[in-house]
Amino acid sequence: MAAEAPEPGAAAPEPGTGPLAGKTLVVTGTLPAFSRQEAEEAIRAAGGHAAGSISKATDYLVAGDKAGSKLAKAEQLGVPVLDEEAFRRLLDGESAP
């Protein structure tokens, strides 16, 4: 089953549960199948934290087209960068590449 953004107002999982539990992700650029808000809601629904900026504490950057300076900073800090396909796999509980 493909990961989808949760319904607006859907309950988030209990803290510490879900495939992204304890993970911090930042979304940047344009993703074909997600708006930024939908991607961030999907992260929270999977138990993760959606942050607005890159730091050493960031676990993954989800980068779409025109990712810009956040992509450059992630690469500089060694933060793993995911495309939309890898992001969907992560939401489904699969390992990141």
Tokens representing 75? 């690469």
Q: What is the pLDDT of residues 35-50, one digit of tens each?
A: 999 999 999 999 999 9
> Residue 2 has what pLDDT?
45
Q: Mean per-residue pLDDT for 69-95? A: 94
> How far apart, in whole angstroms, are the C-alpha atoms of residue 87 and residue 53?
17
Residue 24, both tokens: 């911090």
Residue 97 CB contacts under 8 Å (≥ 6 apart), including other chains: 80, 82, 86
Residue position matching structure tokens 């990712």: 67
Q: Which of 27, 37, 36 lies closest to 58 in space, CA to CA? A: 27
SS3 37: helix
pLDDT in tens, 23-34: 999 999 999 999
Locate 3 and state its tokens: 């990961």
Domain-by-domain residue ranges, the chain?
A: 24-91
| 57-75 pLDDT, tens digit each | 999 999 999 999 999 999 9
Fold of 24-91: Rossmann fold (3.40.50)
| DSSP secondary structure letters along 3-29 | --PPPTTPPPPPTT-STTTT-EEEEES
